[in-house]
Amino acid sequence: MPKKTPTRIILASRSPARRKLLKELEIDFECHASGYEEDMNARKTAPALAKFLAFKKAEFVAHKYPDSIIIGADTFGTMNGKKFGKPKSITEAKKMIAAYSNNAMKVYTGVAVIKTSDRGTIIKKLSEHAVTTLHFGNISNQEIDQIIKEDDVMNVAGALTIEGHAGKFIHTIYGDYHNVIGLPLFQVEEMLKKL
């Protein structure tokens, strides 16, 4: 009887931060950026939207990888009923960061894990979400300019890189730190065990 090869694991993301986090689980994986276009205006609750977008990102590449496990993730922030995805301009990034000053925001990450058959059809799918609340201190206009200059604000949800300059303005974190970076590792590991 032929020996079955190990199932491939595909991270459907181009995010360097997610790649770095997934390496912490000490599993072999490949990356394939999902071309799914996010719609932050979908009429869903934040947890449902996070899981929906994560699933769509994984589903978008699933057919290309038979007999594989595909991991999709999507992260965004919310504050006062408004959703904060990746900014479309520096002006928008500045407005996002200014809104955080002396305020609290919630960061949601949806994670979807899809298993495909040897023909590339989806045979199992799981999705979870994580939420982390961040409390910020005062952020002056000069400090906002410094964050814009030093952090990769245009490529991250909410223009917020917690491990960058902006992180020093967060005085309290409730929830999973990895979630804020873009991949809640505990949930990912538990979901992989279920497949």
Query: CA separation (Å) from 29 to 9, 11, 47, 56?
Result: 5, 7, 26, 19
Tell me the CATH class for 8-194: alpha beta
Q: Which amino acid is at 139?
A: I
Q: What is the pLDDT of residues 9-62, one digit of tens each?
A: 999 998 999 999 999 999 999 999 888 887 777 789 999 999 999 999 999 999
Domain positions in the chain: 8-194
pLDDT of residue 3: 43
Active site members: 74
Q: How many residues does the chain have?
A: 195
Query: Which residue's entry shows tokens 């007999």?
Result: 67
Q: Is the pTM of this model over 0.75?
A: yes
Compute the distance between CA of residue 146 and CA of residue 195 in angstroms, rounded to an integer: 44
